[in-house]
Amino acid sequence: MAALKTRAGCSLRLLSIPLDPPLPKGEKLIDADFMPVEFDENHFKHIQIFLDQFFPSRFNSQGHLMRNTLFRLHSIVASILLAAAMAGCGKSTPPAPVAPPKSAVPVVESSLSILATTDLRDIEMIIPKIREATGVEVSFKFGGTFESTEAVLNGKAGTDAAWFANAKYLLSDANGLSKVKLQEKIMLSPLVIGVSESSAKQLKWDGTEKVTWADVMKAAKTGKLRYAMSNPASSNQGFMALMGVAAAAAGKSEALTAADINRDAVRDFLTGYKLVGDNSTYLSQKFKERQGEDINAFINYESWLLSMNAKGDLREKLTLVYPHEGVATADYPLMLLNDQKREAYQKVVAYLKSEPAQLWLAEQTLRRPINPDVAKKVAHLFPKDRLLVELTFTTDRAVADSLIEAYLNEYRTPIASTFVLDVSGSMKKEGRLGQLTKSIQYLAGADNSITGRFSRLNSRERIWLMPFSSDVSIASAFVIPDAKDSSAKEAVFAEIRDYAGKLRAEGGTALYDAIYEAVRNMGEEQAKSNAKAKAFAYSVVVFTDGERTEGMNLATFMQRYEGMDASAKKIPVFLILFAEGEASALNEIAKATGGKVFDARKQPLASVFKEIRAYQ
């Protein structure tokens, strides 16, 4: 809205009004010789009444002003507006205030940007309520747990606050503590085990007797509990579950030390870990596809599992198991990072902890209220007769890091994967080959950040690097030695970094030939390992910067893929969409192979390679 001063000291406020149809070029709203004047709110009120009486159909269904009903008569309207304005010009008595309509948009007094973990996407729906109650405009940016933690620790969050499921890892060292100015717990959700009802009855975990963590570990070790869980090296749920198991197995009431970790117990628990992923959405979809086949349980937050049951699209409902010794609970701390936004932060926290917000959070997201009075009102939403005992967590970063490193290098099923690398001529553009080279080198130890350490190649892992252009190169195999021999491990890393540094771009793109060869290679390796009773988690990772230009087409690939052994067709293919890559074709392959497409067009390629590691 603008104002133009006149010789009489009055001015005209110019309103932006959408017209239907738009004014033709050169046509004016008010004649140039009209004197611009200022209209106060009282004038506009009377003008509104006039327009309602004489031009009731001046707006179309989209709320645009109908030019043919009003603006063809603009000289009459302008005269009326001018007379109304001039009548009030020069008067010292201010007009009576007019109350804004109840439907007016709330005034935004300040803003608060929040870095949140991906499991909090369902909280976005509360933004309008926060704005209305506090005048604070809240915005969210989402990321993975350790990715977001690292951003806060490095001072690169780029937001005023952070909101995680828990902040135990972030606050386990002095640097993290210094970054957080204030923190307030907002809601609660215990990490529990959702077991398919039929399996729960077989295990006698249907409420007839207490279930201990020892029972859980035994069931996992004997193959009776086969569960989905997010990766402990990239996500809060998996990290909390691993820490919880370690705490329960140690049987200590105080914080753990590295010497307290019962490695055999942790290893037994991880024997049942059959479905890996980085986020709950992906894992939920895969769980629905495989429930009752090779998967019968899902370890996640109570809120997520209750929501899955409520949707009614599972093959059978989940019985929620709360181990007797205790559980790890997400308390969702909202943390202030920018002290200049303290006032806005405190307003938002006060609202989120108020009864209306706590009720909304409980009813809409099935997270438990932090407010005890509200908790009583919504008790019917949650399982009854569940005594929630909180397991003791360590505050020592070194213990947490050592447990994650042990998971990656000792406890988990080792990875076997083929990396299909597009080195066609188009990779010469825009530094693409350099990005690919750096991404592979980061996996081989060149990145010492938190996410870099937790996503690099692990001990006992086997990888094949398979470049392709017009033809598919013979895959080069590398075996990562046991973690105990660090010098041998570093030597293999150096070989991989050197190999990546020698990649050269030329030729066409025989994309589907390369993918087929990679899946076939993994299928053969899987058959060899099965014969030797060696278990690996097999996958194929495909990077390409464009569409196929040579070799078999997609239809031929799908036909040949269908003819493969059933075991080979269970190997997921993870594909990276980059530059001119064809999204629809990559999605079709991901769907057929049980894999996933990762979009690297709007984020660093190295970050996408790290993300894929959480799914392998």
Span 90-99, pLDDT tens digits: 444 444 444 4
Tokens of 459: 């001990």
Specify whether the CB–CB gap between 401 and 451 falls below 8 A.
Answer: no
Rounded CA-CA distance 478/497 in Å is 11
Q: Has residue 612 got a pLDDT over 90?
A: yes
Q: What is the pLDDT of residue 184?
A: 98
Q: What is the pLDDT of residue 252?
A: 73
- pLDDT tens per residue across span 468-481: 999 999 999 999 99
Average pLDDT over every residue of 198-205:
96
Average pLDDT over every residue of 157-177:
94
Q: Which residue has the higher pLDDT, 27 or 375?
A: 375
Q: If 0-12 CB within 10 Å is exposed, 13-18 middle and 19+ buried, where does residue 448 land? A: exposed
Q: Has residue 314 got a pLDDT over 80?
A: yes
Output the pTM of the full model.
Answer: 0.78
Q: What is the pLDDT of residue 106?
A: 63
- CA–CA distance from 148 to each of 44, 602, 604 (Å)? 50, 17, 15
Q: Has residue 86 got a pLDDT over 70?
A: no
DSSP state, 259?
Answer: G
Q: Which residue has the higher pLDDT, 63 or 291?
A: 291
Q: Has residue 503 got a pLDDT over 90?
A: yes
Rounded CA-CA distance 371/210 in Å is 28
Q: What is the pLDDT of residue 511?
A: 97
Q: What is the CA radius of gyration of the chain?
A: 31
Average pLDDT over every residue of 392-409:
86
**Who contacts 322 (Cβ-Cβ below 8 Å, separation ≥6)?**
190, 192, 211, 383, 386, 387, 388
Q: Has residue 1 got a pLDDT over 50?
A: no
**Who contacts 480 (Cβ-Cβ below 8 Å, separation ≥6)?**
457, 458, 459, 460, 461, 462, 463, 489, 492, 493
Q: What is the pLDDT of residue 395?
A: 74
Average pLDDT over every residue of 196-213:
91
Q: Has residue 118 got a pLDDT over 50?
A: yes
Share of the chain above pLDDT 70, in %: 82
- pLDDT tens per residue across span 276-296: 999 899 999 999 999 999 999
- pLDDT tens per residue across span 561-590: 999 999 999 999 999 999 988 899 999 999
Average pLDDT over every residue of 68-82:
38
Q: What is the pLDDT of residue 386?
A: 76
Q: What is the pLDDT of residue 253?
A: 61
Rounded CA-CA distance 357/374 in Å is 10
